[in-house]
Amino acid sequence: MSCFERFVRFISETAWIMIGLTGKSFCDSAHDGFYLVVRNASQFSITKGLGKIFVIFGQLFITVFATVIGYMIITNNERYSDEIYSPAIPTLMFAIISYTVGSLFMNIYGMGA
């Protein structure tokens, strides 16, 4: 049942993309999209693999960059550095929030890749 669900999801995804590109009906687009993927399977797999790598590095970059900027703000700004005993907990919160934001942004890219 899980295999069938993934197949239907794959057909539906390619059909909606083809509808957006060609403007044909759902069934015609599903047919065209399926055979497009079958004819170009190696190119699609390489593109999908590179897209996943790009998403992972994007999430990592957003998380690290935002966490470092947050850490620098709370340690270099006297207003925050005087009130905070240890920057570990706020930095951890920066990391969690920035990972969540990075995942949301990069998942949007991951749908298209």
Positive or negative, the CA dihedral 94, 100, 105, 109 is positive
| Tokens, residue 10 | 């794959």
Give 112's pLDDT tier (boundaries 50, 70, 90).
low
Amino acid 44: pLDDT: 82
Give 15's pLDDT tier (boundaries 50, 70, 90).
confident
33-57 confidence digits (pLDDT tens): 888 888 988 998 898 888 889 999 9
What b/e string do you get for 19-35 counting C-beta neighbours within 10 Å, with b at 16 or more? beeeeeeeeebbbbbbe
C-alpha pair distances (Å), 44 with each of 18, 32, 37, 90, 109? 15, 15, 7, 42, 16
Whether 55 and 113 have beta carbons less than 8 Å apart is answered as yes
pLDDT at 113 over 70: no
Show Cβ contacts of residue 69 under 8 Å, excluding neighbours closer than 6 positions: none
CA distance 4 to 111: 20
Q: Is 106 helix (H, G, I), strand (E, B) or coil?
A: helix
Q: What is the pTM of this model?
A: 0.67
